[in-house]
Each structure stands twice: as structure tokens, then as C-alpha cells.
Amino acid sequence: MVVLFLASTSPRRAGLLAAAGIPFALCAPGPEYACGGDDHTHGEVGEPRALALARARRKAEGAAPPDPRIPVLGVDTVVDLGGSELGKPRDRADAERLQRALAGRTHEVHTAHVLVLHRDGRSAEELATATVRCRVPEEAELQRYLDSGQWRGKAGAYGIQDEAQTFLAVAAGSYDTVVGLHVAAVQRLLRRLEAT
């Protein structure tokens, strides 16, 4: 029995839910994300935590679940370097620019989760934050990662789980928050929505 609809096109988020044994089905996120748009191309500026929550809300509230009695989960991940969002890179040169901005610094990753029950409009939300440390990579190491293309479509131009990346590590918080979905937060939201 499905306990939630995931309003996401991210295979990483689907994989985390599946690995946790949470029964789910996919549904398209809000219409602004449906036609090749993504969560970092709307020209938004603002405080990174607030941006993550607003986007996760739009994904969940804008979805059209096949069954309105089953809650919809919207999720958004933002890389926060000193209070500014580092979005998804446009191309390899942009990915290199973002990677060089992160090198030798610590940054935060915020993943917002919003669970909405379309039948009656009830919702619950939670923001998870982790701290990531990026050492200064050797030039060959950085170029090897850029050549891999594994940074494509990822906030901050990296995936903590990428095999080709060897210079980023979670310093505090949960690893899955950095991947893009904090399983414990989803479990808490399901319990919270059931209790209301």
C-alpha cells in the first residue's frame, strides 16, 4: 500500500525512499517543474532556507496526485555558501566556477520536505540541514570530477555520493540530507500528518 506520492523527478530521492522501505509512487511535481524546468532556474533570490521551503511547497501543492487521500511529498535541496544559494550549473565551466567557490570552505546543505494532503489541505513541513566540508582538490582531481559529468543537474555542482568526487565530506548532520532527502524527516512528517 502506497503511503505517499513523491512529487519529484529525482532518481536519488526515489532511491532513498525505496532503500528505507517506505512504500511510495511517483507523481509529477507542480506544473512549473513539469516541462524541463527545475527548482533552480526561476531567477529567485533570497535566504537559502526560505527558498528550499518555498520550492518544496510549490512542488507538493502543485502536484496532481492520482488519489487525494494519499499525501504528496515535495522536496527541495539548496547549497548555501555563506548565506547565498549555489544553484545547478548550466555547463562544465559553470560547474568549475562553483567547485572553485566551494574549495577549502565549509558550507551548509538544506533539504526542505513538505507533505500535503490534497483531500483537505492539511500539511506538515520540516527542514533538515547538514554541514559539508570541501578541501582544496588537486587540479587533476578537480578536472577528473568535472570530466565525469556526475555534477550535472545537482545543486552546488556536486553529489556527495558521486564516485568521481573525493574532496567533499559531511562534517555534521545526515548524509541523506546532502543527497537530497532526509528519510527520518519524511517518517516524522507522515506521523505528524496522521496525528492531526
What pLDDT, in 10s, does the model give residues 42-69?
A: 567 889 999 999 999 999 999 999 999 9
Instruction: Indicate whether 107 pLDDT > 70.
Output: yes
Instruction: Indicate whether 185 pLDDT > 90.
Output: yes
Supply angle C-alpha 66, 11, 60, rounded to 5. 40
Task: Report the phi/psi class of residue 171: left, alpha or beta, with left for phi > 0 and alpha for psi in -120 to 50.
Answer: alpha
Q: How far apart are CA 153 and CA 89, in angstroms?
A: 7
pLDDT of residue 36: 47
Q: Which of 39, 41, 43 is nearest to 52 (CA)?
A: 39
- Mean per-residue pLDDT, 140-144: 97
Type of residue found at 136: V
8 Å CB contact between 60 and 126: no
pLDDT of residue 41: 47
21 is written with which cell numbers?
522501505
Q: What is the mean pLDDT of the chain?
A: 93
129 is written with which cell numbers?
540541514
For the chain, what percent of residues have pLDDT higher than 90?
87
pLDDT of residue 33: 65
- Mean per-residue pLDDT, 70-84: 96
Q: How far apart are CA 196 and CA 52, in angstroms?
A: 24
- The domains of the chain, with CATH numbers, are 4-195 (3.90.950.10)
Q: How confident is the model at residue 34 (pLDDT cuts 50, 70, 90)?
A: low
What pLDDT, in 10s, does the model give residues 153-184?
A: 999 999 999 999 999 999 999 999 999 999 99
Q: How far apart are CA 47 and CA 13, in angstroms?
A: 23
- Mean per-residue pLDDT, 108-124: 97
Active-site pick, 38, 39, 76, 91: 76
pLDDT of residue 171: 98
Reply yes or no on whether 76 is catalytic: yes
- Mean per-residue pLDDT, 17-45: 76
Q: How far apart are CA 188 and CA 176, in angstroms?
A: 15
Q: How far apart are CA 161 and CA 166, in angstroms?
A: 10
> In terms of pLDDT, which residue wins out, 44 or 88?
88
**DSSP class per residue in 38-93:** -TT-S---S-HHHHHHHHHHHHHHH---S-TTS-EEEEEEEEEETTEEE---SSHH
